[in-house]
Amino acid sequence: MILVKPSYKIVDYFPSKFDYNWNCKSDYGSLECIEEIGRTCYKSEDRITPGSSKQFIQKLLELKHESVLEHSAMTVRFICDRGVSHELVRHRIASFSQESTRYCNYKSGVTFVIPPWTNMIEGEYRESKSPSLGDNLWFNSCLDSEDRYITLLTVSKWSPQQARSVLPNSLKTEIVITANFREWRHIFNLRCSEKAHPQMRELMIPLRDNCRRLIPVIFD
């Protein structure tokens, strides 16, 4: 049995640095795209200058004209448990690609995500080394489900999509999400809240803070 911590990786944010004729533009990115499209509403394209996108977007946000942010997007790859992924896919205005328990076969060993309220550390285990009763109860539950899953595959000859029924929410999954900037702002507002699930906050708060550093005008 393998235990891992949740993590994320920003795959890309775009549009890429190309113009509409597919000519490379080294100074053209997501913010420039938002400005160019947003100025369509006001027919003020003639006011575009190098570096003007930040001030323009700040004005859009002040006016609550956030629909223009939907013209740029970001893709993020998450490693999390199945319980967290079930919450993530409830965000309708996004595209999802997720590791499938129907087709992935874990007979060589199941990976589980460590909850932040335990003292477990990453690694491969057959027995828990934690002195905590709660940690051990969680660990043994995952270990039992792994044993039963592998037995169903190898002895009972169940398919992965059948045997998965014994796997818990702590099962590790990978999910890639692409959403526009407006939706990411909405996701952060919901999922970084003190009312959000601790495992969701464990993922989303660092991602939000990273986005603030990368694109502060959008995510501050």
On the CB side of 22, how many CA atoms lie within 13 Å of its CA?
Answer: 0
- Do 177 and 95 touch, CB atoms closer than 8 A? yes
The residue behind tokens 């199945």 is 82
Residue 26: pLDDT band (50, 70, 90) is low
Report whether the peptide linkage leading into residue 15 is cis, meaning its omega lies within 30 degrees of zero: yes
Q: Rounded distance, CA 150 to CA 138, Å?
A: 19
**Strands 7-14 and 111-113, sheet pairing:** unpaired
- Do 165 and 192 touch, CB atoms closer than 8 A? no
| Amino acid at residue number 206 | P
Residue 60 lies in a domain: no
Furthest CA-CA distance within the chain: 71
Structure confidence by residue, pLDDT tens digits, 152-204: 999 999 999 999 999 999 999 999 999 999 999 999 999 999 999 999 999 99
Q: How many helices (H) and strands (E) does the chain have?
A: 8, 7
Of 122, 130, 126, 132, the C-alpha closest to 109 is 126
Residue 38 lies in a domain: no
Residue 22: pLDDT band (50, 70, 90) is very low
The domain tally of the chain equals: 1
Give the pTM: 0.90
- Rounded to 5 degrees, what are φ and ψ at 22? 60, 30
Structure confidence by residue, pLDDT tens digits, 82-107: 999 999 999 999 999 999 999 999 99
**Mean pLDDT over the full length of the chain:** 93
Q: Which residues are catalytically annotated? A: 191
Helical ranges in 23-167 per DSSP H: 30-38, 53-62, 82-88, 133-154, 160-163
Of 194, 174, 198, the C-alpha closest to 116 is 198
Beta-bridged to residue 73, according to DSSP, are 14, 180
Please state, as a whole number, how many other Cβ atoms lie within 10 Å of the Cβ of residue 204: 23
Q: What is the CATH number of the domain that holds 94?
A: 3.30.1360.170
Residue 71 lies in a domain: no
3-state secondary structure of 185: helix
Domain range enclosing 158: 2-8+76-174
Question: Which tokens belong to 199?
Answer: 């495992």
